[in-house]
Amino acid sequence: MFGHDISSLEKTLGYSFRNKKILREALTHRSFYHENPDKADAYNERLEFLGDSVLGFVVVEYLFLYDSQLAESVMAKAKSYLVKEAILSEIAGTLFLGKYLRLGKGEEATGGRMKKSLLADAIEAVLGAVYLDGGYGRARELILRLFKERIDTILGSGKFHDFKTELQEMTQFLFNTFPEYRTTKQEGEEHKKIFTVEVYIGGEKFGTGVAKSKKEAETLAAQEALDEIGQ
């Protein structure tokens, strides 16, 4: 059964492994390894570490070649945005990676196949596995196929700034405190809610955001707060 799953995943990846054992390792969570020592020789954390480095290098290389005028600070922010858990788990979702994971009973019972952290780790492990099995060229080819559209989109729109992190760093530096986000209003039906979030610094309101999710509303509030501080 697992062999069939591997074949299906390989078709989705557009890459056929010479050593299937490496892909199997990339899909094995430590919980499965510890519960099934007779069925797993290793788990995916080493491959995840390798894949993280390969992914980072490919992204930075692409950014460097994309535009000779891109400043180091812009490349750093773009890379940080592209390799964060939310983006990685989204890409893992497009590959339906969750259904291929080998998980222990505890992780399985608590929805491990849908956990963003596990999915993000798994996609990095798979990229590390492709690098080991097929070399840098094949890993780069896969990474760009998965990430290029996102890279081009954020570079074109400039929407790669992590406003919440930037605000936190600024408020800590300027005011020796952290921003506080307060959800002040929720409107609409359950599946069509609109959230209003205000951000406070030292008890004073600096920004407001309104969006379809709390996270997006917080981001908009942080962006407004940064503008306010800048003025």
Please confirm, yes or no, whether 141 is among the known catalytic residues: no
Measured torsion, CA atoms of residues 202, 208, 214, 216, in degrees rounded to the nearest 10: -110
Are 40 and 102 contacting, i.e. CB atoms less than 8 angstroms apart?
yes
- As a whole number of angstroms, the longest Cα–Cα distance in the chain is 63
Q: Which of 121, 124, 133, 218 is catalytic?
A: 124
Please confirm, yes or no, whether 124 is among the known catalytic residues: yes
Q: Which of 52, 107, 121, 198 is catalytic?
A: 52
Question: Which are the catalytic amino acids?
Answer: 52, 124
